[in-house]
Structure 1
Amino acid sequence: MSRSYAVDCLLEPIFWFVDNFAGSLGKVFVFCVTVLTSSVVAIAYWIGLPYWWHRNPYLTVFLVIFGNWLLLNIVFHYYMAVTTPPGHPPNGAMLVEAAGICKKCISPKPPRTHHCSVCDKCILAMDHHCPWLNNCVGFFNARYFYLYMAYMVAGVTFIIVFGIDIGYVVIWINDPDAATLKDDPELIGHPLRMNQSGVLVPVKDILEYDSENFPREHILPTPLITEAQLISADPWKRKAVFFVAVACIAVFIALGGLVVMHTKNIGRGETSIEYHINTTMRKQNSNFRNPYNLGKKKNWRKFLGLTQGRTFIRHVLFPSRHAPTGTGLTWHATGDLEDWP
């Protein structure tokens, strides 16, 4: 019995679980992402749209257009990341360049290719296996994966910014006056005062009251009842707003951190796996340089596929199915004489 043997024994159940159930759990995760996204969008239309329409109809038109542009990109890139194969080395083909032989596939392994134990296949330019996609992130779907995360972070930020007023009133303020008026939406936005009977009524009705019996100095001021306060008075809407707030903040923190990490990796021309490998190599040799780092600008153009006349506006800001540059079997390196366009 040694320490390494003991660690291997402890990790063996984890490896067995991943190999046998990760594929099935991936479908559950995809379903959860779909339901969660659909729920947040539905609540935004149910609560947020009437709220902003009451405040400013012209701004609401812009918010609907901008929000649906974000939603279109989120849905498109997530669907493409889930359904697009990441790329695999051709079976039985003789490769011009091979980094070695895969010990599990027993076949030539191109540069930057790694074996996925969940998919049980070699993946071209493998970044990682993502259970939320039920798919590996590799050469052919890495752009879809990154843009999905970027647009999702932008989407939840959009909801947080334009829903913060609703969230503040609903979550932190519990106005009992609003609860008494939730069945009379015509009073929204009117100044209200309390009459002799202790009932809240519009000021115009108070002024018509006999001033001798109820002088104006006895009129008790109350705040304006807003759309957000009426939302707060509805228990189902309160729960929905709380759900959206928790979901959006959690997604912003989780995916925001991943976007920052992958942004740095793309700028350095390396995948997540290569980041860990290259970090170890730099510790062993201070002169080590990533051979696939072509410079930040070229790395980004290559990753986004902005070659052959493609533009950022048409092929990044809007959904595009264009394939990445190259085949994933061979790669330009910093030592190549050929200048990449």
Structure 2
Amino acid sequence: MAWNVFKFCTALRALGSIMILVVIGIIGFTYYAVVVANYGPSLLLGGFDSLLALLVLGLFHFLLVMLVWSYFSVVVTDPGGVPPGWRPELDIEKSEGNQQAIVEANPISVGDSSSHIVRYCRKCNQYKPPRSHHCSVCGRCILKMDHHCVWVVNCVGAMNYKSFLLFLFYTFLETTLVAVSLLPVFLVFFSDGDDDITVSPGSLAATFVAFVLNIAFALSVLGFLIMHIMLVRRNTTTIEAYEKHTTNWPYDLGRKTNFEQVFGRDKMYWFIPLYTEVDMKRLPALRGLDFTGRSEESEPLQSL
């Protein structure tokens, strides 16, 4: 009997809710180690120590605000679903040869998103726009789906992919800052001299754990960040990269255009999880329905 992994979809949704609490807990624990136990008290010492503490705390809080903003933008933003009644702009009557392909299409396979073959999801009972895929956890088709992330209790798709990338970016910067700033105290943990220890045993233990957690997250997030930077450069998603041959990927329009189809054209908005109204109107790819190909053969199917 084949093992059906999708029977665990309900458990994944429940796990995601727990993961949000885990994220908040890690942030709170790190905040205690950096602000309350170490650099907050240093503000009262005066001289270079106060200046260093002010610099670390200022940068720490700025990155923390951007991290939390980006994170909850991924959590609460709809990644993009197929509009009700969406149909491809294709003369079905002239493509009767495709009808069998429509009926037999695998609803969760990547397929050839760059072709004019009509894609149909049997689970949603509706047509699938190019680059959309069915998520069994969310129970619907997601526009330009990248993956379902339990850390954010949401799919990562067309509308929140930028927020997800910014979340990775600010998480890497924040965890790296925390690891570097706590390194001197972490080394004191292994020192033999009691004179070097200026904090309580509880604060020292919290600092040790916070350092280990943040250095681990910094290294792991760096790997994901590099992977997604490569995906953005080729204008592809995680699903497409693993399940398609993208050597002659028709949606690869050059690094600049590929970047704009994720982050928009307004440079002032590149580092915040928002788009301008102008970009939303002039860049249809941001909405996940219309994509420009490099040739007429790879142009997307448009909605009616």
Contact 2:60 2:174 in 1 (8 A): yes
Distance between the aligned counterparts of 2:271 and 2:136, measured in 1?
34
- The gaps in structure 1 that reach 5 residues or longer are 179-224, 283-287
Contact 2:40 2:53 in 1 (8 A): no
Q: Does 1:249 align with 2:215?
A: yes
**1:70 matched to which residue of 2?**
63
**1:58 matched to which residue of 2?**
51
**2:249 matched to which residue of 1?**
290
After alignment, is 103-112 or 42-51 more displaced? 42-51
Q: Does 1:15 align with 2:2?
A: no
**2:193 matched to which residue of 1?**
175
**2:295 matched to which residue of 1?**
335
Q: Tell me which of 14, 17, 22 is aligned to 1:32.
A: 22
**Which amino acid in 1 is paired with 2:252?**
N
Cα deviation for residue 120 of structure 1 reads 0.6
Q: State TM-score, norm by structure 2.
A: 0.80
User: What per-residue deviation string (whole Å, max 9, x for no partner) do you get for residues 96-127 of structure 1?
Assistant: 26741012112010000000000010000000
Q: Tell me which of 237, 249, 269 is aligned to 1:315.
A: 269
**1:115 matched to which residue of 2?**
134
Structure 1 segments of 4 or more deviating over 3 A? Answer: 50-55, 317-325
The structure whose RCO (Cα within 8 Å, separation 6+) is larger is 2
**Which amino acid in 2 is paired with 1:175?**
G
Q: Does 1:163 align with 2:182?
A: yes
**1:124 matched to which residue of 2?**
143
Match of 1:56, SS?
helix
Q: State TM-score, norm by structure 1.
A: 0.72
Q: Tell me which of 74, 87, 95 is aligned to 2:80.
A: 87
Q: How do 1:118-267 and structure 2 match up within 5 A?
A: 118-170=137-189, 172-176=190-194, 178=195, 225=196, 229-231=197-199, 234-267=200-233
Distance between the aligned counterparts of 1:319 and 1:65, measured in 2?
21
User: What per-residue deviation string (whole Å, max 9, x for no partner) do you get for residues 8-39 of structure 1?
Assistant: 2xx22x3312x221111110111111111122
Cα deviation for residue 256 of structure 1 reads 1.3
User: What per-residue deviation string (whole Å, max 9, x for no partner) do you get for residues 48-99 of structure 1?
Assistant: 3146534432233232222221111101000100000100011123332674
Distance between the aligned counterparts of 2:49 and 2:155, measured in 1?
44
Distance between the aligned counterparts of 2:213 and 2:275, measured in 1?
29
Contact 2:143 2:158 in 1 (8 A): yes
Q: Does 1:300 align with 2:259?
A: yes
Contact 2:80 2:143 in 1 (8 A): yes
Cα deviation for residue 277 of structure 1 reads 2.3
Give the number of the structure whose alpha-carbon radius of gyration is greater: 1
Match of 2:288, SS?
coil
Distance between the aligned counterparts of 1:52 and 1:293, measured in 2?
51
**Which amino acid in 1 is paired with 2:161?**
A
Q: How do 1:35-46 and structure 2 match up within 5 A?
A: 35-46=25-36
**1:194 matched to which residue of 2?**
none
Distance change (3 Å), C-alpha of 1:240 and 1:95 = same
Distance between the aligned counterparts of 1:174 and 1:85, measured in 2?
53
**Which amino acid in 2 is paired with 1:289?**
N
**Which amino acid in 1 is paired with 2:256?**
K
